[in-house]
């Protein structure tokens, strides 16, 4: 049976970063994202320090830089929402655009704000990408549990991860079944758009019903093994002194970056 | 070990799935439950640990199933579902096998021991950190059995354990089931598995028991098998 692999971001490798405790990585990554978000506009030196962090961690992880860069690009379309800042922030005009009675002027302050947002979101996504590329999902889930994220949320995340592949495979089979019966000897796609939309709607509905029925079977399987509404897990070990030190060192680094800005 | 007395069950839509079933399974017996699709085999298994509650009496190890002892019953009757993707719901194999023991309130050392022991029983040592969706169907089926073995039940009830398996995985699975000391109830279409594994066979059709006897007698009765949509091995 074929599987959909795109969702599995983890890259197996034996590196210093891979071996780090997932909790250390999660805490540091969250701290980096918060710090980057808190940085003011145009704090170029601080941005560069954070980029240095990403580069060093990336190099130590032995993951191909190309891969991280490619994955981090998902952030760019969202950052484009900030494009209007170029025109809306008052300041020294760089250029003007005349549209009839209207005039749009690009300001240098606006450009700085936009570029800053672009860089900040890109840095955050790169930090997160590094985390999921070097940490297996189950250990990340365990780390969130250690961070005292409510059990229900942790369970939902872990079920989602377990079954997204199963559901994706089911969807794949449905689409294949449609392909197999969509012979169009004329060369043009057959049927009206309306009809095809209806077929697609039916497929999505059937996927939903299958998932719903599966959830009932899973629940029965959980009950069979003594589930009584409370999720129980093994106690998680305390962090070692070295791990605490690593986290401390990064906090000092991030504090310095924030002060520098 | 298991005693069903006049068990009937209808689904909410009114379809009658089980009709006045009476069946006694003694300790150490390996019983096959055969019958065509929709005969009620899976429904019957779901009654053994109180997931479904029909009319009639069910006793497990002398205890009638009731609200007060569901936890105890479920630790004694290990149910292995047909699709391992339903049974294996945790991110890793370790967490899945540990699920049952953890919910039996065992201490951490014992949980770890049981997981290691159960995985060794099914020949899946070293798979602890693997994720279920990266396993083959044969591996998943074995681990599904381990998740139940870790609870050390007295009775194992398996739904289509050999379905969809390739011949080699199927063979390995039959050998595994032969070696297990538990009382066994296996719902299946796989008549060769029945022949090799079960000493006694119960034929279910339309929610009723239509035959119950030594496997050799049942499998030798071609007319009976034919009448209920089955065929000899």
pLDDT above 70 covers a percentage of chain A that reads: 94
Q: Do A139 and A85 form a contact (C-beta atoms < 8 A)?
A: no
Residue A32's closest CA among A44, A24, A22?
A: A24
Kindly write down the DSSP assignment for every residue of A172-205, as one continuous string.
HHHHHHHHHT---TTSSPPS-HHHHHHHHHHHHH
Residue-level pLDDT at A30: 95
Closest residue in B to A168 (Cα–Cα): B133
- Tell whether the model's pLDDT for residue A4 goes beyond 60: no
Kindly write down the DSSP assignment for every residue of B70-104, as one continuous string.
HHHHHHHEEEE-S-HHHH--SSSHHHHHHHHHHHT
- Name the residue with tokens 């919910």: B103
CA distance A22 to A63: 17
Residue-level pLDDT at B74: 92
Residue-level pLDDT at A1: 44
Structure tokens at B121: 């029983």
Helices (H), B26-166: 41-48, 70-76, 84-87, 93-103, 108-121, 137-149
B11 touches chain A (CB under 8 A): no
| Helix, strand or coil, per DSSP, at residue B2 | strand
Q: How confident is the model at residue A100 (pLDDT cuts 50, 70, 90)?
A: confident
Residue-level pLDDT at B117: 94
Interface predicted TM-score of the whole assembly (ipTM), two decimals: 0.89
A219 touches chain B (CB under 8 A): no
B99 to chain A: which residues are within 8 Å by CB?
A: 222, 225, 227
**Integer distance in angstroms from the first to the last C-alpha of chain A?**
53
Domains of chain B, start order: 2-227 (3.40.50.300)
CA distance A20 to A30: 15
A166 to chain B: which residues are within 8 Å by CB?
A: 85, 133
Higher pLDDT, A235 or B160: B160
Please give the average per-residue pLDDT across A144-170, as a whole number: 89
Residue-level pLDDT at A5: 54
Read off φ and ψ for residue A59, nearest 5 degrees: -65, -40
CB-closest option in B74, B89, B108 to A234 = B108
Residue-level pLDDT at A58: 92
Residue A54's closest CA among A44, A42, A37, A68?
A: A68
CA distance B93 to B87: 11
CA distance B106 to B215: 39
- Tell whether the model's pLDDT for residue A2 goes beyond 70: no
pLDDT above 90 covers a percentage of chain B that reads: 78
A19 touches chain B (CB under 8 A): no
- Tell whether the model's pLDDT for residue A12 goes beyond 60: yes
Helices (H), chain A: 16-19, 22-38, 44-61, 65-72, 75-79, 85-88, 108-134, 137-146, 151-180, 193-224, 241-260
- Tell whether the model's pLDDT for residue A6 goes beyond 60: no
Helices (H), A80-107: 85-88
Least confident window among A114-118, A186-190, B103-107? A186-190
Residue-level pLDDT at A3: 56
Please give the average per-residue pLDDT across A93-115, as a whole number: 83
CA of B220 to nearest chain A CA: how many angstroms apart?
A: 35
Higher pLDDT, A231 or B106: B106
Instruction: List, in sequence order, every residue forming a beta bridge with A91; answer none if it has no partner.
Output: none
CB-closest option in B49, B81, B129 to A217 = B81
Residue-level pLDDT at B86: 93
Please give the average per-residue pLDDT across A148-154, as a whole number: 90
Disruptive mutation site among A224, A232, A233 for chain B (greatest number of B CBs within 10 Å): A224
Residues 6 or more apart in contact with residue B208 via CB below 8 angstroms: B19, B20, B21
| Positions of chain B with pLDDT lower than 70, given as ranges | none
Cα B63 to the chain's mean position, in Å? 19
Higher pLDDT, B65 or A88: B65
Least confident window among A129-143, A144-158, A160-174, A180-194? A180-194
Q: Answer whether 0.80 is exceeded by the pTM.
A: yes
């Amino acid at each position: 049976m074929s599987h959909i692999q795109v969702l599995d971001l983890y890259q197996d490798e034996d590196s210093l970063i891979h071996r780090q405790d997932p909790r250390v990585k999660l805490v540091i990554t969250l701290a980096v994202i918060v710090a980057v978000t808190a940085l003011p506009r145009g704090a170029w030196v601080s941005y560069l320090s954070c980029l240095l962090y990403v580069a060093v961690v990336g190099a130590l992880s032995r993951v191909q830089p190309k891969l991280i860069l490619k994955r981090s690009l998902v952030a760019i379309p969202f950052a484009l929402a900030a494009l209007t800042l170029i025109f809306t922030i008052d300041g020294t005009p760089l250029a003007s655009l005349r549209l009839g009675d209207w005039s749009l002027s690009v300001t240098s302050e606006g450009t700085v704000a936009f570029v800053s947002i672009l860089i900040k979101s890109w840095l955050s996504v790169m930090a997160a990408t590094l985390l999921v590329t070097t940490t297996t999902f189950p250990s990340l889930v365990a780390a969130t549990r250690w961070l005292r994220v409510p059990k229900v949320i942790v369970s939902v995340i872990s079920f989602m991860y377990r079954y997204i592949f199963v559901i994706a495979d089911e969807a794949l089979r449905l689409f294949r079944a449609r392909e197999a019966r969509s012979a169009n000897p004329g060369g043009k796609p057959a049927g009206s758009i309306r009809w095809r939309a209806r077929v697609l709607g039916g497929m999505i509905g059937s996927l939903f019903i299958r998932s719903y029925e599966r959830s009932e079977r899973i629940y029965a399987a959980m009950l069979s093994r003594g589930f009584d509404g409370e999720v129980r897990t093994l106690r998680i070990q305390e962090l070692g002194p070295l791990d605490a030190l690593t986290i401390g060192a990064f906090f000092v680094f991030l504090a310095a970056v924030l002060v520098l800005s | 070990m298991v005693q069903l007395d006049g068990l009937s069950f209808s689904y909410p839509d009114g379809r009658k799935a089980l009709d006045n079933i009476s069946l006694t399974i003694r300790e150490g017996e390996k019983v096959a439950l055969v019958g065509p699709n929709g005969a009620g085999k899976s429904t019957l298994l779901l009654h053994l640990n109180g997931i479904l509650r029909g009319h009639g009496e069910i006793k497990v190890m002398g205890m009638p199933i009731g609200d007060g002892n569901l936890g105890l019953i479920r630790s004694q009757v290990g149910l292995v579902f047909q699709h391992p993707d339903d049974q294996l719901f945790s991110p890793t194999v370790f967490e899945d096998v540990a699920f049952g023991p953890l919910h039996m309130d065992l201490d951490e050392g014992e949980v770890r021991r049981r997981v290691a022991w159960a995985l060794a029983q099914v020949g899946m040592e070293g798979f602890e950190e693997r994720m279920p969706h990266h396993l083959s169907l044969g591996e998943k089926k074995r681990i599904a059995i381990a998740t139940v073995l870790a609870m050390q039940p007295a009775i194992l009830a398996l739904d289509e354990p050999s379905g969809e398996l390739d011949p080699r995985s199927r063979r390995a699975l039959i050998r595994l089931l032969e070696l297990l000391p538990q009382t066994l109830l296996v719902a299946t279409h796989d008549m060769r598995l029945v022949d090799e594994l079960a000493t006694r066979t119960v034929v279910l059709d339309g929610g009723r028991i239509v035959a119950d006897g030594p496997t050799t007698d049942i499998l030798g009765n071609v007319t009976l098998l034919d009448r209920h949509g089955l065929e000899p091995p």
